[in-house]
A and B are shown apart, each in its own frame.
Chain A
């Protein structure tokens, strides 16, 4: 069965990825003919039903797109609406937004590292099996993740779909006493984050590299999270307002997610590896030191090593949260007024899985006339398929079950969020 020149691999429901999708690989004459990531979660039409809603509503409505990264949706929505209304939110309110976002990075990255990705490297079919043999490790992961949850609950009002975020800032700012208590938990979390990075550094990483152009936000002076301008490893640099001039989305028949490419350039990759490669210089000294210690160079083009980047970013997020907590003064009031005005607004932030772009048109009455949301997974889909094409071509001698399993692992490197992209996983390898 391992040397047929024609075959089909089908994974009808990909395991340990966020959402529902499938993968189909078709091999003809010993060559990979097609590789398709099929995203079959139904499209949810958020952009359509935002039209006609009040300009204050997108943060709460778009947060519902994802239970793992609602803050990313809220922050990109706020940035775009505020841009449309000509308001800049800075100072203590912006700092509180960054602190909330650090909580989401911690929660999302730790979930992926411990429950979704680490079992692949350690030879376990699931986190449950990993926990049976290494209870202490999984306990550490859950404790670290909880630190992120605690940030979300205190600042966002609740851990899922936070309710305390509004256009212009927050409904309520936590007290200094509440924030100090959070700091105590995060100081413990910093040690857990460092131990996590050293733990994943011991995994074996297949020698697989890509040549995708990588894209991320950048903000001189600090690691971009909640704002920045767009840069790529190919030398492109443009403001968020020009995102749609450079990023072209198109429908493909096999997916309910749009595929994105850079105009005149082709596929690209966003996410932790892109952020690290483009912004390593802006990591904190401790985060850069741990990046060196775990073996990350100046760029990360091995998708398997994305787990290292996530671990380094968790260290950074915990440190950054502690820095923000140390300097915290409750903003009063906790929001700035954002009166409506007719205009078009653009916003982009670094969701855990990469750049999340929002654009809204608003009329003079504050009603939304147009909306566009470009999530990270749809931007990465073409690059993931390209990686899989090369990955499968080098492993055609493997039996179907092993090849299928390795393809699923390769997909999990990207931590794709199908729910966000649906606009994902089943695997089919067709060799017949």
Chain B
């Protein structure tokens, strides 16, 4: 695969399961394989302009995030195309609270989406204060890291 490739972990590792994206990127960094292959591994808080900067111009971008999903058990994994993530702009759209869907819409309007954007996510249970993932969510780190590696290689 030619062109820039990037795996982006979105979240805050001091808000429990919100640290899922950063944990997946940390695991990939530890493996060293993707870095050696020239894949950019990045962590961000989800602020839209930073996220767009990270994936703009890329051939492939994988975004790893945690989601709230009352319908599914904690640790349940999802793989979504960007068109499945775009949703209505929430009323509470602050720069701290802009969702991934709104950021993708902004990137679309600016023609700054990567050629391929895949979102890998896991359902979180605890988004409270402090480090560390819930056990069910921690179990999802390895398979999601492996899937992210497959997508970008």
By a beta-carbon cutoff of 8 Å, the part of chain A in contact with chain B is 13-20, 44, 64, 67-68, 111-112, 115-116, 125-128, 131-132, 135, 138-139, 142, 145-146, 149, 159-160, 419
Contacts and interface: CB of A to CB of B under 8 A. Distances in A.
28 contacts: A14-B92, A14-B94, A15-B91, A15-B94, A18-B94, A18-B95, A19-B96, A20-B92, A20-B94, A20-B97, A64-B14, A67-B45, A68-B95, A115-B48, A115-B49, A115-B95, A116-B95, A126-B93, A126-B102, A128-B89, A128-B109, A138-B109, A138-B110, A142-B49, A142-B52, A142-B53, A145-B49, A149-B49
Nearest to A125: B89
Given A13-B91, A135-B111, A419 B53 contact: no
Contacts of A132: 109
B140 interface: no
B26 interface: no
Interface in B91-131: 91-97, 102, 105-106, 109-111, 129
Contacts of A17: 94
Contacts of B49: 111, 115, 142, 145-146, 149
B44 interface: yes
Contacts of A139: 110
B136 interface: no
B59 interface: no
Contacts of B129: 44
Contacts of B53: 142, 146, 149
B65 to A, nearest CB: 16
A111 B52 contact: no
Interface of B: 14, 44-45, 47-50, 52-53, 89, 91-97, 102, 105-106, 109-111, 129
3 tightest A-B CB contacts, nearest first: A13-B92, A131-B109, A132-B109
B109 A16 contact: no
A135 B109 CA distance: 7
Contacts of A126: 89, 93, 102
Q: Is the interface of B mostly helix, strand, loop or mixed?
A: loop
A297 B49 CA distance: 32
A234 to B, nearest CB: 33
B95 to A, nearest CB: 6
A19 B105 CA distance: 21
A128 B102 contact: yes
B44 A135 contact: no
Contacts of B47: 67-68, 111, 160
A135 B106 CA distance: 10
A89 to B, nearest CB: 28
Contacts of B95: 16, 18, 68, 111-112, 115-116
A159 B50 contact: yes
Contacts of B111: 135
A135 B110 contact: yes
Contacts of B110: 131, 135, 138-139, 142
Nearest to B129: A44
B13 to A, nearest CB: 11
A350 B110 CA distance: 33
Contacts of A149: 49-50, 53
B68 to A, nearest CB: 15
Contacts of A160: 44-45, 47, 50
Nearest to B89: A126
Contacts of B105: 128
Contacts of A138: 106, 109-110
A111 B50 CA distance: 11
A127 B102 CA distance: 10
A132 B48 CA distance: 16
Nearest to B102: A128
A126 B94 CA distance: 10
A142 B45 CA distance: 17
Given A67-B45, A135-B111, A419 B106 contact: no
A16 B52 contact: no
